[in-house]
């Protein structure tokens, strides 16, 4: 692991790191904020998965999470959204290819060669964080925005024993039913829709996957809500499954980091409460 930068913030350390990924076959860059803590302490971990076009830098620069993480003693991990670089397949559109990994393990050429974001997040980066940082991997939460909200929900639903808490900002809740998801899942996984279900939060819930509860924020001025996000489908799926869902439609907020940064403190505190020893 190569350290690209470290900066002190709120008594802790914000670092940016790079390593050679076995899962993607490319260099991958991620950020980790470690709050102030006693020597030898192991701290809970909150994962944040970013949305379309983003890198680790979007939330690191604009997420406004460090004060809350320092207050609650929570490590904050922000991975990238896809493999990048020369020799990595790409697409001219913003919603497919580099920057748009959708947290899946691709099975279709040419994407299968590098686009293994599910394995990267669930296995490889998790092991690296456990080895290199004072992380208590028995106390993990996960959140994310838009495509990253989709990633957070599906990863938690597939790994309920690993994540004690899960939330999302404006997530894509049913990618198999919306244009962003149909394009991405079809391109990365092929046209067999049965293979898409493991990457669709509403489908996972419908097939029996469960988490203890969910917190979701979305702006009622979000320009993507009606066509791409479809929060009402998550409401219906959680109601049918008996999963407690707190879905907050925030008046006047859009899809941007102005929205995310406004409610980030709420989400960090919510996760911290559930990640207490």
pLDDT digits (tens, 9 = 90+) for 32-68: 999 999 999 999 999 999 999 999 999 999 999 999 9
Is there a contact between 123 and 30 (Cβ–Cβ < 8 Å)?
no
* Beta-carbon-side half-sphere exposure of residue 86 (alpha carbons within 13 Å): 0
Rounded to 5 degrees, φ, ψ at 66 are -65, -40
**pTM for the structure as a whole:** 0.97
Residue 256: other Cβ atoms inside 10 A: 15
CATH number of the CATH domain containing 136: 3.40.50.1820
* Cβ-based burial of 101 (10 A; exposed 0-12, middle 13-18, buried ≥19): buried
3-state secondary structure at position 164: strand
Q: Residue 225: pLDDT band by 50, 70, 90 thresholds? A: very high
Longest Cα pair distance anywhere in the chain, in angstroms? 52
Find the angle CA(268)-CA(119)-CA(188) to the nearest 5 degrees. 105
CA distance 3 to 13: 12
If pLDDT is split at 50, 70 and 90, which confidence band does 108 have? very high
Residue range(s) defining the domain that contains residue 27: 2-274
Number of domains composing the chain: 1
Instruction: List 135's β-bridge partners, or say none.
Output: 43
Task: Note the pLDDT of residue 197.
Answer: 97
Residue 182, pLDDT above cutoff 80: yes
- Residue 12 in contact with residue 33, Cβ under 8 Å? yes
With b meaning 16 or more CB within 10 Å and e meaning fewer, what string describes 229-255? bbbebbebbbeebebebeeeebeebbb
Q: What is the pLDDT of residues 82-105, one digit of tens each?
A: 999 999 999 999 999 999 999 999
Q: For residue 65, what pLDDT is reported?
A: 98
Is 80 exceeded by the pLDDT of residue 222? Answer: yes
**pLDDT confidence band for 277 (50 / 70 / 90):** low
Give the residue numbers annotated as catalytic, written as ranges.
146, 222, 255
Mean pLDDT of the residues in the chain: 97
């Amino acid at each position: 692991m190569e350290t690209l930068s470290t900066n002190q913030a709120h008594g802790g350390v914000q670092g940016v790191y790079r390593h050679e990924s076995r899962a993607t076959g490319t260099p991958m860059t991620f950020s980790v904020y470690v709050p102030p803590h006693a020597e030898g302490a192991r701290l809970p971990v909150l994962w944040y998965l970013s949305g379309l076009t983003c890198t680790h830098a979007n939330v690191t620069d604009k997420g406004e999470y460090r004060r809350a993480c320092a207050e609650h003693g929570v490590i904050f991990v922000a991975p990238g959204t896809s493999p990048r670089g020369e020799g990595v397949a790409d697409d001219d559109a913003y919603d497919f290819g580099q920057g748009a990994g959708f947290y899946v393990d691709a099975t279709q050429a040419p994407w299968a060669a590098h686009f293994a974001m599910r394995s990267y997040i669930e296995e490889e980066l998790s092991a690296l964080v456990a080895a290199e940082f004072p992380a208590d991997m028995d106390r993990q939460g996960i959140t994310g925005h838009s495509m990253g909200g989709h990633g957070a929900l599906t990863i938690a639903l597939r790994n309920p024993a690993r994540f004690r808490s899960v939330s999302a900002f404006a997530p894509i809740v049913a990618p198999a039913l919306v244009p962003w998801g149909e394009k991405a899942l079809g391109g990365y996984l092929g046209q067999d829709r049965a293979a898409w279900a493991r990457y669709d939060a509403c489908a996972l819930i419908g097939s029996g996957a469960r988490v203890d509860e969910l917190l979701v924020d979305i702006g009622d001025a979000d320009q993507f809500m009606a066509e791409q996000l479809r929060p009402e489908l998550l409401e219906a799926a959680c109601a049918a499954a008996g999963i407690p869902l707190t879905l907050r439609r925030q008046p006047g907020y859009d899809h941007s980091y102005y929205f995310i940064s406004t409610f980030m403190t709420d989400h960090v505190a919510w996760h911290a409460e559930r990640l207490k020893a």
